[in-house]
Structure 1
Amino acid sequence: MAEAMVSNAAAPEGVRIYAIGDIHGRADLLDRLAQSVDGDLRNGAYDRVITVFLGDYVDRGLDSRGVIDRLARRDFPTPIVTLRGNHEDVMLRYLDNPALLDQLVAFGGLTTLASYGVDASREMTHGGAPAVLKAFLERFPDSHRRFLEETALSAEYGDYFFCHAGVRPHVPLAQQDPGDLMWIRYEFLGYRAPFEKVIVHGHTPHARVENLANRINLDTHAFKSGVLTAGVLEGRQRRFIDTGG
């Protein structure tokens, strides 16, 4: 756990916010971080607590199904808000269009298909991309699709604005394009001036948390590094807990 740091930005009075970066199929790390959050809840006093998941629950890691299943059941030590990442964006569009299989695969989606019991190579041999999607839809629970469809693009608490990828500079937060909230990188990451609020995001992997004046990046490359990170925002303090390497 990183030591607390004081910022000018503040969470709402009496509210503790946990924000969790990109999971990418690592249900094992989600389990471990949930245990850490549960233990952390015993520290300090607060009136309300919430956890914001920043998106990218699927692909790359081996258990996307386990991640979605847990979050769809709201099985977490606190109430949760689940945001949509670019990987969920691709997955949702793929559910209605087998032609997007190549894009899904390019994003690490073969592991997602496999976690639902779909052998993409075998299905391609028998019937091409439509057969892969058919096999996937036969194994994809309605509750999982509803979970993806109900993910939000952003959330705001106090002086913090939460989204998956970031925001476009010089555009009011209330007018941000959905595509930017899920996909933007360089225009956002290179911007050093303040935004209307501190942006809490993931999407761009980094060796460690980027705890900056205008943004906080919580994507610590969990599927590869074994480090899934939660930022803890309370009053004007920021601190971080993670699963370790």
Structure 2
Amino acid sequence: MHGRYDLLREVANLIREDLRGCPGDAFTVLLGDLIDRGPQSREVVDSLARRDFPTPFTALMGNHEAAMLHALESDKAFELWLGMGGSETLASYLGGVPRPGAVDRPALMRALPEEHLTFIEAMPPTYAAGDFFFCHAGIRPGVPLERQTPADLLWIREPFLSSTRNHGKVIVHGHTPVPAPMFLSNRIALDTGAFATGKLTCIAIDEAEIRVLTPAEECGGETADRVSAGLTR
């Protein structure tokens, strides 16, 4: 999502329309990196901290949320965070491009509402449901899912991306941008580079199928981009 509140609202509307007239409950998993790089990180966090969303949801910790929390602890971590997109987040909290001398850790600490900090600190690293395991970046192949380290869950690329082994569940992740959502036998990659491309991808998983929600999507409509849920386990 990376600070694209406009895209968050678009996806929320897609979910709302997809659920119109559909039976059953729905739960949304957000895959982390709500903040940084894009211009509206404050709006994104504020909206989600107020639970302003069409379904119950969990927002998973991404490496950018973790970097922001570290930035509150030391000046060195703060400088590293600014260089990986934190400067845009700081600008969103300060109401514009910070004036010279204002870009420091105390400025962030003063500008960050307590409820926003509480929301970010409470973001869990994983969520599991049925045959699917959700995390931000991926997992370390060969390590049981319950023993994955925070560093791998938030940062890993290889050897996860090239692994063809069965992980026990299908790993649904972001972190590594792809041109379009990628459906493999052991993982689903959903980071389509929203802050740069304007494309925030959302899929709906139910017992029968996996559907990529698009602006033309209507619940049960013929225009849905549909992907079989019969992934090889």
Q: TM-score, normalised by structure 1?
A: 0.84
Q: Which residues in structure 2 correspond to 1:86-235 (within 5 Å)?
A: 86-117=63-94, 119-120=97-98, 122-123=100-101, 132-235=104-207
Shift of 1:242: 4.3
Shift of 1:186: 1.4
Paired with 1:237 and 1:91, the residues of 2 have a C-alpha distance of 36
Runs (5+) with no aligned partner, structure 1: 1-22, 125-130
Q: TM-score, normalised by structure 2?
A: 0.88
Query: What do residues 103-135 of structure 1 show as CA deviations (whole Å, max 9, x unaligned)?
Result: 1122111110000116445125xxxxxx61111
Matched-pair identity in %:
44
1:40 and 2:14 aligned: no
Paired with 2:134 and 2:59, the residues of 1 have a C-alpha distance of 10
Query: What do residues 50-92 of structure 1 show as CA deviations (whole Å, max 9, x unaligned)?
Result: 0000000111100000011111111100001110000001001
Does structure 2 conserve the Cα–Cα contact (< 8 Å) formed by 1:49 and 1:79?
A: yes
Secondary structure at the counterpart of residue 202 of structure 2: strand
Query: What do residues 25-52 of structure 1 show as CA deviations (whole Å, max 9, x unaligned)?
Result: 0000001111111010115322x21000
1:73 and 2:50 aligned: yes
Does structure 1 conserve the Cα–Cα contact (< 8 Å) formed by 2:72 and 2:78?
A: no
Query: What code does the residue aligned with 1:30 have?
Result: L
Does structure 2 conserve the Cα–Cα contact (< 8 Å) formed by 1:24 and 1:222?
A: yes
Shift of 1:226: 0.6
Does structure 1 conserve the Cα–Cα contact (< 8 Å) formed by 2:70 and 2:78?
A: no
The total of aligned residue pairs comes to: 215
Pair 1:195–1:160, CA change in 2 (3 A): same
Secondary structure at the counterpart of residue 107 of structure 1: helix
Moved >2 Å (runs of 4+): 118-121
Pair 1:163–1:140, CA change in 2 (3 A): same
Structure number with the bigger relative contact order (C-alpha 8 A, sep ≥ 6) is 1
Query: What do residues 129-186 of structure 1 show as CA deviations (whole Å, max 9, x unaligned)?
Result: xx61111211110001001100001010000000000000000001111110011001
Secondary structure at the counterpart of residue 204 of structure 1: coil
Shift of 1:95: 1.2
Match of 2:33 among 35, 38, 56: 56
Pair 1:97–1:119, CA change in 2 (3 A): farther
Does structure 2 conserve the Cα–Cα contact (< 8 Å) formed by 1:228 and 1:243?
A: no
More strand by share: 1
Does structure 1 conserve the Cα–Cα contact (< 8 Å) formed by 2:179 and 2:192?
A: yes
Query: What code does the residue aligned with 1:219 have?
Result: D
Paired with 1:169 and 1:202, the residues of 2 have a C-alpha distance of 16
